[in-house]
Amino acid sequence: MVRKRVPDWLNSSLWSTTPADDRLHHYSPSPTTTTSSATFSEPTLQPPAPVPPPAASSKPQSTPTSPKLETRDPVNRNSNNNSGGNDQNGDSSGVSPDDISRQAQLLAELSKKVINMWELRRIASQGIPDGGGIRSTVWKLLLGYLPPDRSQWSSELAKKRSQYRHFKEELLMNPSEITRRLEKSVGCDNDESKPEGRGLLSRSQITHGEHPLSLGKSSVWNQFFQDSEIIEQIDRDVMRTHPDMHFFSGDSQLAKFNQDAMRNILIVFAKLNPGIRYVQGMNEILAPLFYVFKNDPDVEMAANAEADTFFCFVELLSGFRDHFCQQLDNSNVGIRSTITRLSQLLKEHDEELWRHLEVTTKVNPQFYAFRWITLLLTQEFNFADSLHIWDTLLSDPEGPLETLLRVCCAMLILIRRRLLAGDFTSNLKLLQHYPSANISHLLYVANKLRTQAIG
**Confidence band of 454 (pLDDT split at 50, 70, 90):** low
* Residue at 222 is within a domain: no
Residue ending a domain, among 151, 177, 196, is 151
Amino acid 350: pLDDT: 96
Mean pLDDT of 105-109: 95
Residue pLDDT, tens place only, 6-60? 555 454 444 443 333 333 333 333 334 444 443 333 333 343 333 344 443 333 3
Q: In this structure, what CATH number is given to the domain that contains residue 142? A: 1.10.10.750
**Confidence band of 227 (pLDDT split at 50, 70, 90):** confident
* Residue at 349 is within a domain: yes
* Residue at 276 is within a domain: no
Amino acid 68: pLDDT: 36
* Residue at 338 is within a domain: yes
Whole-Å CA distances, 173 to 108, 129, 273: 44, 40, 17
* Residue at 288 is within a domain: no
Domain containing 437: what range? 324-451
Does this model's pTM top 0.85? My answer is: no
In the chain, the number of structural domains is 2
* Residue at 71 is within a domain: no
**Confidence band of 455 (pLDDT split at 50, 70, 90):** low
Residue pLDDT, tens place only, 408-427? 999 999 999 999 999 999 99
* Residue at 371 is within a domain: yes
* Residue at 408 is within a domain: yes
Q: In this structure, what CATH number is given to the domain that contains residue 417? A: 1.10.472.80
Give the 3-state secondary structure of 216-267.
CCCCHHHHHHHHHHHHHHHHHHHHHCCCCCCCCCCCCHHHHHHHHHHHHHHH
